[in-house]
A and B are shown apart, each in its own frame.
Chain A
Amino acid sequence: MALGPVWVFAELSQGRAATGALELLTRARSLGAEAVEAVCFGPEARDAAADLGRHGATTVYVSTDPAFTELLAGGPGADSLAPLVAAHQPELVLFAGTHAGRDVAGRLAVKLDVPVIANGLEIEADGAITVTTSIFGASQVVRTEFGARRPALALFRPKSFAAAPAPGETASRVVEVPALVEERHRRARVVGRSSEVAAGPRLEDAAVVVSGGRGLQDPRNFELLREVAGLLHGAVGASRAAVDAGWVPYALQVGQTGKTVKPTVYIACGISGAMQHTVGMKGAQNIVAINRDPHAPIFKLADLGIVGDALTVLPQLVEELRSRAG
């Protein structure tokens, strides 16, 4: 049974197509769908369309209405998507599991009264559409099949697929669509925005991530992590506990509700290894854990586990790295 059109709800990030959208398009291309198309809402949607096309979207439905940035993403996104879906009837709509992706998909599921599956890691579409998720800190893998109602809505964890441009000539048709925003959504407005930009590579892209948790005892000790990360051209990450304590900004959070990272080396310092955290980093090629508690669950994942105080080990590591750098 042929798979009908597959759509990707493409978000924008700093004026460009978000990496998550390119990852989903790359996977969608190999599902054997009769068409792979994208929907992109926001001021730079037209500019992003080329990149979405290069990754396999043959049609990109765009709207550049300012409502998409002035208001919260969920209401305008779902309002504008619903009639498009009704008109074109995609069989499957894929979302990145971001804050905005959840807000749009959650509302769209209600509007269309269709099922939605979150936290996807893989998808199969051979007659039935089945999404793989992991639960209990990724200790168990669950496959869930959609019933007959369409479209099926699915959200995927970042980095579930590697983004790659489509081979050969690609050209996408850009179709301007209206923004449909119900008046009630204007009752909530975004009145200010700030972004935290750290020096060095982005956390999601860094080959080395040095992460800290509450075991570091004091927010000032993150300075040590920044020093190690700097010497390794890496990025600093953090556990949710450290973020919730207000030690470092949310942009550094690695885990279920934060970023997913797959670096060559992940160094967890003073992080116990709660499931919330490990789902965001267990894909690292090499995991180093430093923790004073020999029973900390993080040691179950570690290729190299050091039972000791990160505040002792890290300064020594800084010395070693400095002397190598000469």
Chain B
Amino acid sequence: MNVVVCVKLVPDPNTPGQLDASSHLLRRDLARTVLDPGDEFGVEAGLRLVEAHGGEVRAVSMGPERALDAVRKALAMGAARGALVSDEGLGGSDALTTAKVLAAAIRREPFDLVITATESTDGYAGLVPPALAELLGVPAVTFATGVTSDGTSLTATRQTESGSETVVAALPCVLSVTAGVNEPRYPSLRGIMGAKSKPLDRLTLADLGLEGLGGASAGQTVVSVARAEERAAGEILSDEGEGARRIVELLVRARVI
């Protein structure tokens, strides 16, 4: 089974990001960046499937030069090969552009399954998985909390607004997985060393036949960025046994009891 896992380099979610005041783009220079923690679950899901059914995991990413770190982490976890699409024209790309680029990179080789996170930790639009599926002409099983496969189809449990559902999909398809679908492995030292010698394709828009796509062609423009109104500071107290009473006082003031 040939599995493609889409990975993204994102600002470390534990340190809040900042937008540049004039360009309205993310100040990537300020933020510590990591492989999107959500993508680790996708890599793990892919590795488990190829361990069971043979084949290999290919990690595909779009982003600046630094996004190589994200691809390398996936390789260190066990992906066999990687590809990164970088192009100056891609800065500020929207979900549709991102999906077009990833789809073109994925299509360069045969695939049985494309795995993504449900959404990125920095943009959280969650539109790339269904857009990718549409571009690739395959089903999109999104928000999977569990997945098994017999090699030709997969059975997934999905979150729904009111509970869950079970979906059976023929391969090839796109699968987006939630955090919690598995326990991602840590890259071993051997994995980290080995990652350096694994094949890693560097691609541009021209390599994908997508010249002219990207930032300037995106159908949307950020027109302003402002600090959100902050909540007024509240009272913080150390619990010495009166915490519960203080909560009751607040509940009374709020007229809920």
Contacts and interface: CB of A to CB of B under 8 A. Distances in A.
B220 interface: yes
Interface size class of A (residues with CB under 8 A): 35 or more
Contacts of B95: 106, 109, 116, 118
Contacts of A185: 139
Nearest to B218: A115
B17 to A, nearest CB: 5
A72 B141 contact: yes
Contacts of A32: none
Interface stretch (B50-58, B70-78, B104-112, B122-130): B122-130
A109 B100 CA distance: 11
B199 interface: no
Interface string B77-113: 0000000000000000011100100000000000000
B147 interface: no
Given A74-B140, A116-B96, A192-B165, A316 B221 contact: no
B250 interface: yes
Interface string B139-183: 111110100000000000011111111111110010000111000
Interface in A236-255: 240, 243-246, 249-251
A140 B228 contact: yes
Interface stretch (A21-29, A42-50, A159-167, A317-325): A317-325
Given A110-B99, A145-B221, A103 B140 contact: yes
Interface residues of B, number: 82
The interface residues of chain A, by DSSP majority, are classed as mixed
A189 B131 contact: no
Given A188-B169, A265-B254, A308-B243, A147 B219 contact: yes
Given A114-B219, A303-B234, A321-B257, A188 B124 contact: no
Interface of B: 13, 16-19, 24, 94-96, 99, 118-119, 121, 124-131, 133-135, 137-143, 145, 158-170, 173, 178-180, 218-228, 231, 233-239, 241, 243-248, 250-251, 253-257
